[in-house]
Amino acid sequence: MVKYIAKIHKDTLMERMKTSPFSPATDGSSDSNVKLYPIVVRTLNVKICEVHSEVASLPVLDVSGTGENIFNLLDALLQEGDIPWTNCVSFDCDNASVMTGVHKGVFSFIKKKNPECFLSGCTLHLVHLAAEKAADKLPSSPADLLVDIYYHMKKSSVRQMNLGKYQEYYGKEQQ
């Protein structure tokens, strides 16, 4: 049943990729002894004017992780669905040279298929980097964070007044 539903979902996605712009993204996963390269595709559903991000494929790379070999996974997906590379408007990836390299990176092979395609940073990688930087700014323990909040509030009557207003608004006892 799951395989049947997944096939219908994939067929619908592939049909959209044939007829409208799309942006693939991939990154290697080495969480196990197999090297997976999930391919996520963003498409525009023109009927309802929504952008969708969907997993198109979860291929295993059983050869070395070169730009050309990773590109071949993307190319095989497009060939399977008879999808033209001209519909690929951007490629989303991290900044690894295997992805962005000018001569042998995945994107260089995509540019040979579609010179109009552009390189776009992967939003998930950007969010991850931002979260990582923010986490570095957090105190080492929850107790330290609470002490910092206490002194932040204690030194400002305006902050205390605003906190009181929020507590009153939400029907909480003022503390």
CATH topology (fold) of 2-130: Nucleotidyltransferase; domain 5 (3.30.420)
CA 120-44-40 angle, 5° bins: 55
CA torsion angle for 92, 72, 83, 125 (degrees, to 10)? -10
Give the mean pLDDT of 145-173.
88
What is the per-residue pLDDT for 31?
Answer: 62
* Three-class DSSP labels, 51-111: EEEEEEECCECCCCCCHHHHHHHHHHHHHHCCCCHHHECEEEECCCHHHHCCCCCHHHHHH
pLDDT in tens, 4-37: 888 888 999 999 999 999 999 998 876 667 788 9
> Domain-by-domain residue ranges, the chain?
2-130, 140-169
Model confidence over 59-97: pLDDT tens digits? 999 899 999 999 999 999 999 999 999 999 999 998 889
Q: Kindly report the pTM of this predicted structure.
A: 0.69
- Mean predicted confidence (pLDDT) in 137-152: 82
Mean pLDDT of all residues in the chain? 88
Q: Is 173 helix (H, G, I), strand (E, B) or coil?
A: coil
